[in-house]
Amino acid sequence: MDVCTDPSCADATAMQSAQDGTFHAQLGAQLPLGRHERLFRASGEGLAGAVTLRRGFSAVSFGVHRVALSAEPARAITEVDLGALPQPTSSDVELTVSGAFPSGARARVECAVEGDPEVARCLECTPREGELALTDPVRVQLAVRATAFCPSVADGRELPVRMSLRLVPDSAEMAEHAVPLRARLRYARVDPVELRVSGGARVEETVALPGPVAQGEVRARIELEDAEGLTAGALRERQALRADEEGRADVALFAAAEDCCAAREYAGAVVLSAASGPELRVPITIRVDDPGFWTCPGKQILRWTLIALSVLLFGWIVHGFVSPARFREGAVLAWASSHEALLRLREGDEGWRKLARFTETARRFRRPAALHLGGPRAPLPSLKRLPPDARVEATPGGGAKLIVTGPGVEKFEESSGWVEIAPGEYPVSNRLTLRRGEDTYLQLRR
Asked if the model's pLDDT at residue 104 lies above 50, the reply is: yes
Structure confidence by residue, pLDDT tens digits, 383-426? 999 999 999 999 998 899 999 999 989 999 988 899 999 999 99
Structure confidence by residue, pLDDT tens digits, 3-58? 445 555 544 444 455 555 555 444 444 444 444 433 333 444 444 344 444 444 44
Asked if the model's pLDDT at residue 127 lies above 60, the reply is: yes
Strands 352-354 and 332-336 come out as antiparallel
Residue 42 three-state SS: coil
Rg (CA), the chain: 53
CA dihedral 43, 48, 50, 56 (to 10 degrees): -30
Separation of alpha carbons 331 and 261, rounded Å: 62
Locate the domains of the chain by residue range.
1-57, 63-185, 195-289, 332-445
Strands 332-336 and 440-445 come out as antiparallel
Asked if the model's pLDDT at residue 273 lies above 80, the reply is: yes
Mean pLDDT of the region 159-165: 93
Asked if the model's pLDDT at residue 285 lies above 90, the reply is: yes
Asked if CATH classification 3.10.129.10 holds for the domain at 195-289, the reply, yes or no, is no
Residues 107 and 132 sit within 8 Å (Cβ to Cβ)? yes
Q: Is pTM, for the whole model, over 0.75?
A: no
Which CATH architecture best describes the domain 63-185? Sandwich (2.60)
- ∠ at Cα 409 (425, 353), nearest 5°? 90
Query: How many helices (H) and strands (E) in the chain?
Result: 4, 27
Separation of alpha carbons 31 and 297, rounded Å: 93
Separation of alpha carbons 122 and 275, rounded Å: 13
State the maximum Cα–Cα separation within the chain, in Å, rounded to a whole number: 179
Fold match between 63-185 and 195-289? Answer: yes
Give the pLDDT score at 20: 57
Distance between the two ends of the chain, CA-based, in angstroms? 146
Asked if the model's pLDDT at residue 324 lies above 50, the reply is: yes
Side by side, the strands of the sheet bearing 409-413 are 352-354, 332-336, 440-445, 431-436, 409-413, 417-420
Mean pLDDT rounded to a whole number for the chain: 85
Separation of alpha carbons 56 and 52, rounded Å: 11
Report residue 62's pLDDT band, with 50, 70 and 90 as the boundaries.
confident
Give the pLDDT score at 196: 95
Residue 132: Cβ-neighbour burial (10 angstroms; 0-12, 13-18, 19+): buried
Mean pLDDT of the region 93-105: 89
Residues 110 and 166 sit within 8 Å (Cβ to Cβ)? yes
Separation of alpha carbons 282 and 266, rounded Å: 14
Q: Which residues of 354-370 are buried (b: 16+ CB within 10 A; e: fewer)?
A: ebbebebbebeeeebbb
Residue 409: Cβ-neighbour burial (10 angstroms; 0-12, 13-18, 19+): buried
Separation of alpha carbons 235 and 20, rounded Å: 95
Structure confidence by residue, pLDDT tens digits, 421-446? 999 999 998 899 999 988 899 999 98
Residue 85 three-state SS: strand
Give residues with Cβ within 8 angstroms of 380, minimum separation 6: 335, 440
Asked if the model's pLDDT at residue 272 lies above 90, the reply is: yes
CATH number of 332-445: 2.60.200
